[in-house]
Structure 1
Amino acid sequence: MSFYQSPLDVTAFDAKFEAQKIAFAPISFQVTRCLLKFGILAHIDEAGEEGCSLEAIVERSQLSEYACSVLLDMGLSMRLIWQNDTHFILDKIGHFLLQDDMAKVNLNFVHDVCYEGLFELESSLKEGKPNGLKVFGDWETIYPTLSELPEQVKKSWFEFDHYYSDHAFGQLLPLIFKSQPKHIVDVGGNTGKWALACTNYDPDVYVTIMDLPGQLKVALKNAEEKGVGDRVEGYQCDLLDEEQAFCDSGDLYWMSQFLDCFSKAQILSILKRTAQSMTANSELCILETYWDRQPFEAGAFCVNATSIYFTAMANGNSRMYHSKDMLSLISQAGLFVDEDIDDIGLGHTLLRCKLKP
């Protein structure tokens, strides 16, 4: 699906206004965050249809009248709120910023993980390196250092990652277990949430998590705490090291929101090594959010915006892909797609792959 095959049907006057919104977008973002952080949108929402006066907002937020008034005036221009005489009332956009879980997760992720580092987007694009990551440390990529990020940054990163994957679990588990796998190899298993979901779904399944040492330590600890440490093992592996072989005893290889973390060349290498570890009876299941497969334009917008995080903060060379790019890489690796399922969770696609005959 493509939302961009024809020009936007908008007047020149409105288009000029949209251009100004983009020019001031960082200001709009921070004003929104402050309206939420200081409870101003919540205060207005609680007041209901009668609205909330400036005096009441000042008293409850414990900010000065000046601070509240500049935030409220910009909030009016952004249509987060509207004003009835002397009272402020929450508008629809403000309602969703206040109540919608996706908006909260995205906003916290952008502020805590991306905002400062995005100043280096220009140099990241030129050099192919995540130069924005230096705001947190002198690291080449974000992945080996996730456990070392500041606590609030780490919290927002994992909430963002888990929010999108967790919404898909309910639909995915029956699809994954219809082939009755006994041994699942979770490639890039992160904190082990998928492994734990699998062991909870099937009391007989055994899961091997392939990942870096830092992530494995967290995942295996989580498995022990859940009482399934005997069915979850770690396979320490630098997935970018082409000399390292993959675990070769899996019935089903699982990659969830994983391949978007790598460049096309890296993805091809990972898929080839996976194929080398598979048998004719094995299968590889890939779960991703492709921007061209989103059911709504808002989804495509969020997915494409996430690509910029990869550019400036994560590794400088990966992105959220068009599905045709991934299908081509799968074929080049000696695999074919046996099943292709869209609209899982929040815009995910499941590709079930097997070795080419």
Structure 2
Amino acid sequence: MIDFYKQEQKTAIEAKHMAQIIAHGPILFQVAKVLRDKGMLQVIEDAKSEGITLADICAKVKLSEYGVRVLLEAGLGMHLVKYTEDEKFAITKTGYFILHDPLTKVNMNFVHDVCYKGIFHLDEAIETGKPAGLKELGDWNTVYEGLSQLPSHIQKSWFEYDHFFSDIAFPEVIKQVYAENIKKLLDIGGNTGKWASASATHGENIHVTIMDLPGQAAMAKKRIAELGLSDRVAFYPCNILDESVPFPEGFDAIWMSQFLDCFSEDEIVSILKRCAGSIDDDGLVLILEAFWDTQRFETSAFCIQQLSIYFTAIANGNSQMYDSRVFKQCIEKAGFDIVEQIDGIGLSHTLLKCRKKK
């Protein structure tokens, strides 16, 4: 995978064109989103290969000719739409993906609702190590403290993004996890309880304890109750970064899905060290993460790398989507060995099975 980045892939002309795409990036993003959300791309797609005139598009979307024209001309430059032989507008493959691809939709909504304004403060975040852009969402130290308080449309985009990847990975990875004969599981960073509910319905004797911030634990508790699983799922609300808070004990394994990427390297080491007291010497720590350097496709690596900037500017100022080599050093420092690594789970995930060093 690292070979993606070991050689120049573009001619000088292609590279200069790419530089202009980057220079105009915020404009491109907003044009594409408006073309999608105002229905213009759908109207053009509905016209099939015959295409549709500017006047007919305006009539269908009920917007001015000027407004539609400037957007579609920008869309031509982005190759979202194309001209037919008689200069009508037709959809392109890229336009189709903007309109229909689930991955593109969750990425675009997340970037627009959660990231867009906050990323403007990236330079300050880099200089200070603080999530300088978080002030665009609310007055919290980290975004996680405010998840339960976000406006509903922003909260929706955040959770749809988060769940999109885990929902694809969970059906596959749950078989890997419970092949280990685990009965008592500590789910650290349980979020809305999706993993806990999947676990509780996977086997009759499985009991899960969710350990998370009080706001997240309350949301998960409500959802678990609605599913009728309250007798199978317990809760341990706390701030995991507070090193004075003891971790609960007596578990066969600990599960952390898309969780440790929310922390700095030192914080990851601290959390893992404290995990040791929750399991016996043969207990497992199971970590599900997306590492950019383990991806089969460059597009996957690209998406993961760009997500790191959300952590830098908005989430907490000091974490990222990690290179697996950096992450594994944290596991080593915390006193664990990786006994198995399973790549290619879902769209982009890796499962690390860890045990205490002997």
TM over 0.5: yes
SS of the equivalent of 2:248 reads coil
CA contact (8 A) 1:278 1:355 kept: no
TM-score by length of 2: 0.98
| Alignment match, 2:258 | 257
> Can you list the C-alpha shifts for 1:95-120, whole angstroms capped at 9, x where unaligned?
11111100000000000000011110
C-alpha displacement of 1:185: 0.5
Separation (CA, whole Å) in 2 of partners of 1:332 and 1:132:
31
Task: Indicate yes or no: 2:8 matched with 1:8.
Answer: yes
1:1-357 to 2 correspondences below 5 Å: 1-84=1-84, 85-357=86-358
Q: In the alignment, residue 54 of structure 2 is paired with which amino acid? A: L
Compute the TM-score of the two structures, normalised by the length of structure 1.
0.98
Residue aligned with 2:287, SS: strand
1:241-284 deviations in whole A, cap 9, x for unaligned?
Answer: 11111111111100000000000000000000001322122101
| Distance in 2 between residues matched to 1:25 and 1:32, nearest whole Å | 11
Aligned length: 357
Is this contact kept in 1: 2:4–2:298, CA < 8 A?
no
Structure-2 separation of matches of 1:351 and 1:225: 31
Residues 305-343 of structure 1, C-alpha deviation per residue, up to 9 Å, x if partnerless?
A: 000000011000000101111111111111111110000
- Cα offset, 1:4, TM superposition: 3.9
CA distance in 1, matches of 2:200, 2:55: 55
Q: Is the 8 A contact 1:271 1:330 kept in 2?
A: yes
Q: Is the 8 A contact 1:2 1:292 kept in 2?
A: yes
| One-letter code aligned to 1:260 | D
The 2-side partners of 1:150 and 1:3 are apart by 42
* Aligned CA distance change for structure 1 residues 5 and 70 (closer, same or farther; 3 Å): closer
Contact between 2:107 and 2:161, CA under 8 Å: does it hold in 1? yes
In the TM superposition, what is the alpha-carbon distance from 1:8 to its structure 2 partner? 2.0
Structure 1 Cα separation of the partners of residues 3 and 298 of structure 2: 6
How far residue 68 of structure 1 moved from its aligned partner, in angstroms, is 0.3
Offset at residue 25 of structure 1 (A): 0.5
Secondary structure in structure 2 of the residue aligned to 1:309: helix
SS at match of 1:339: strand
**AA in 2 matched with 1:337:** I
> What code does the residue aligned with 1:270 have?
I
Paired residues of 2:192 and 2:220 also in contact (CA < 8 A):
yes
Q: Report the CA distance between 1:220 and its aligned residue.
A: 0.9
- For 1:176 and 1:9, the matched residues in 2 are separated by 40
Secondary structure at 2:201 match in 1: helix
CA distance in 2, matches of 1:216, 1:75: 44
- Decide whether the 8 Å contact of 1:268 with 1:329 is kept in 2: yes
Paired residue type of 2:267: Q
> Share of identical aligned residues, percent?
48
Gapped regions of structure 2 (runs ≥ 5): none
The whole-number CA distance in structure 1 between the counterparts of 2:148 and 2:126 is 26
CA RMSD across the alignment: 0.9
Shift of 1:141: 0.6
SS of aligned partner of 1:179: coil
Letter in 1 for 2:307: T
